[in-house]
Amino acid sequence: MSEEVLQIKDLFVSYGGIEAVRGISFDVKAGEIVTLIGANGAGKSSTLRSISGLVKPKSGSVIFEGQDITGKDPTLIVSSGLAMVPEGRRIFPNLTVLENLRIGAYLRKDDLSADLERVYGYFPRLRERSWQEGGTLSGGEQQMLAVGRALMGKPKLLMMDEPSLGLAPIVVQGIFEIIRQIHEAGTTVLLIEQNANMALHVADRAYVIENGRIAMEGTGKELLEDEKVRAAYLGAVEE
Amino acid sequence: MEYVISVLLSGISVGGQYALIAIGYTLVYGILRLINFAHGDVFMVAGLMGIYLTAVLPISLSLPLVILLTVLLGFTIERAAYKPLRNAPRMSVMISAIGVSYLLQNTATYVTGGQPMTYPTIPFLSDTVNVAGTQTKWVVILTPFLVLLLVILLSMLINKTKVGMAMRAVSKDFETSRLMGIKINSVISVTFVIGSALAAVGSILFFTNYPAITPLAGAMPGLKAFVAAVFGGIGSIPGAVIGAFIIGICETIIKGLPSSWDVSVFSDAFTFALLIVILVYKPQGLFGEAATDKV
């Protein structure tokens, strides 16, 4: 279980001269939930976007299952088994719920019915609404759809960018419960969160990102108990 | 009465021909948010190719070849003039489209010497037929049915197939579509291929009725089809088709009004006056999506 699925080495990402990521290195091992936590603009999303191929990193490397995918086309990256739940859900509002799920399996040519059943199993609400357009769903339902859509690609590694953003606490609880279930079913998860409390509770290991660099790392439990993390990300009052 | 029927028939037919061009505008706009100003000229080039190819090849070979070459032209224009500007501001792509438009017009002037070229008589389409006492060409009768058939096929493609699903996804969100593994550029090419193919079919129908082609022959039908697309709600295929029929019919009615009224010269002005009225009172058109930019 210690085989590395994803290795990031000395990653630099910049947008028009502004360096968002300045030399981040971390890894995700098979079967883990790893989380990157940090404030707005710390470089979490940029890291994820360059892993998924949406942004070409300036330097550094992204190795997925031993294969160098740095700066490759997203089509290739998706087909190698990496799926992303983008920030802000980004479901297709003009496609039905079922179509949104099917498009998550766009590159697959085999039968999808077993995986549809699996997603409906996690999110029964999506089955009820399968003929509705994605845009008519509530925020929480859209997040379920975004997760379900990513699962349809049968990813080896599921990356999630701020799944709790803008959702009611009870809905967030539900989403994290599903993340745990997905993980138990054998999918490796890389989770990016501002909601450090939830993320650290669910994660095996965590990295704290500050100003485009890794500031701290440890198991979820260790970081939950760390004074600095508690003060900066968990809202604990220092005495 | 017979006069009314003949005006209506030709209005529906002209509308159908505009519809085939308007779909090209609306499809490309739907995906790229680009008004493809070169589309009317692609239509003109298809007409010219019809003239040159039928001169050397039998109709059964030359017409499919016209469609094929027009598709190739549309595909090439997108790859050469629009794709390199994919991340540029929308204005740059629009200027590029205007450039392509003039390039096509000037090339046509160079090739034809600027002389009006006579469109060949296509057997059957150009034959006359008697409908309710009115003499008309078969093309006038056939156009609306052919348009309807093509629109149904296109709707099925867009709503029932995987590539259609990808087209709808890309039209909403490039980035997330890429995350699904969709090759954006292929989907955009498909859009141009469909638009060009329909414009080629439109050119065969249109020029069979209007025998002469000049290098500017694509500009006016192109503009009117564009107005039709805006009228119907740009981005919407049913909107473009209905808009095109309305404009075609109105235009023919105005042209057909008694000559003592002396208004027929204003038929083009009517189309553009209509555009102004739409833009003022219903900018999103009949079936267009309201311009809400959700974040």
Each residue's pLDDT tens digit, B95-148: 999 999 999 999 999 999 988 999 988 888 888 888 777 788 888 889 999 999
Which residues of chain B does A104 touch, with a Cβ-Cβ cutoff of 8 Å?
A: 180
The CATH number given to B2-281 is: 1.10.3470
Pairwise CB contact (< 8 Å): A92 & B181: no
Bridge-based pairing of strands A205-210 and B134-137 is: unpaired
Out of A75, A79, A86, name the one closest to residue B176 (CB). Answer: A86
Which residues of chain A does B176 touch, with a Cβ-Cβ cutoff of 8 Å?
A: 86, 90, 92
* pLDDT tens digits for range A96-144: 999 999 999 999 999 999 999 999 999 999 999 999 999 999 999 999 9
Pairwise CB contact (< 8 Å): B173 & A103: no
**Smallest CA–CA distance from A52 into chain B, residue:** B179
Which residues of chain B does A52 touch, with a Cβ-Cβ cutoff of 8 Å?
A: 179
* pLDDT tens digits for range B38-77: 999 999 999 999 999 999 999 999 999 999 999 999 999 9
CB contacts < 8 A, A to B, total 54
Out of B166, B179, B182, name the one closest to residue A52 (CB). Answer: B179
Q: What is the pLDDT of residue B291?
A: 55
Please, which pLDDT band fits residue A237 given cuts at 50, 70 and 90? low
Q: Are residues A190 and A239 in the same domain?
A: yes
Which residues of chain B does A80 touch, with a Cβ-Cβ cutoff of 8 Å?
A: none
What is the CB-side half-sphere exposure of residue A79 using CA atoms within 13 A? 12
Which residue of B87, B165, B176, B180 is the best one to mutate when testing the A interface, meaning the one whose CB has the most A CBs within 10 A?
A: B180
Out of B165, B172, B180, name the one closest to residue A78 (CB). Answer: B180
Q: Are residues A162 and A234 in the same domain?
A: yes
**Smallest CA–CA distance from B163 into chain A, residue:** A106
Residues of chain B that touch chain A, judged by Cβ-Cβ distance less than 8 Å:
162, 165-166, 168-169, 171-173, 175-176, 178-183
Which residues of chain A does B183 touch, with a Cβ-Cβ cutoff of 8 Å?
A: 75
Q: Are residues A161 and A239 in the same domain?
A: yes
Which of the listed residues A154, A181, A202 is the one where a domain comes to its end?
A: A154
Residues listed for chain A: 239
Q: Report pTM.
A: 0.91
Both tokens of residue B135?
């003499």
Is A165 in the B-facing interface, judged by CB distances under 8 Å? no
- Of the candidates B27, B21, B24, the one whose C-alpha atom is nearest the C-alpha of residue B168 is B27
Q: Are residues A162 and A239 in the same domain?
A: yes
Which of the listed residues A109, A130, A154 is the one where a domain comes to its end?
A: A154
Q: Give, as one character, the DSSP assignment of residue B85.
A: G
Q: Round to whole Å and give the CA distance between A204 and A220.
A: 6
Q: Are residues A12 and A124 in the same domain?
A: no
Out of B162, B173, B181, name the one closest to residue A92 (CB). Answer: B173
Q: Are residues A66 and A94 in the same domain?
A: no
Q: Are residues A17 and A126 in the same domain?
A: no
Bridge-based pairing of strands B212-213 and B117-118 is: antiparallel
Q: Round to whole Å and give the CA distance between A32 and A188.
A: 5
Q: Are residues A94 and A37 in the same domain?
A: no
Domain ranges of chain B: 2-281
Q: Are residues A36 and A97 in the same domain?
A: no
Q: Are residues A77 and A94 in the same domain?
A: no
Kind plus residue range of the DSSP H or E element containing A12: strand A4-15
Which of the listed residues A154, A173, A193 is the one where a domain comes to its end?
A: A154
Bridge-based pairing of strands A157-161 and A188-193 is: parallel
Question: Greatest CA span in chain B, whole angstroms?
Answer: 63
Q: Are residues A106 and A45 in the same domain?
A: no
Is A93 in the B-facing interface, judged by CB distances under 8 Å? yes
Q: How many domains does chain A have?
A: 2
| Percent of chain B residues topping a pLDDT of 70 | 98
How many angstroms away from the CA of B292 is the closest CA of chain A? 13
Pairwise CB contact (< 8 Å): A95 & B168: yes
Q: Are residues A119 and A145 in the same domain?
A: yes
Please, which pLDDT band fits residue A18 given cuts at 50, 70 and 90? confident
Residues 6+ apart with CB under 8 A from B266: B254
Which residues of chain B does A99 touch, with a Cβ-Cβ cutoff of 8 Å?
A: 165
Range of the domain at A126: 90-154
Q: What is the pLDDT of residue A195?
A: 87
Please, which pLDDT band fits residue B225 given cuts at 50, 70 and 90? very high
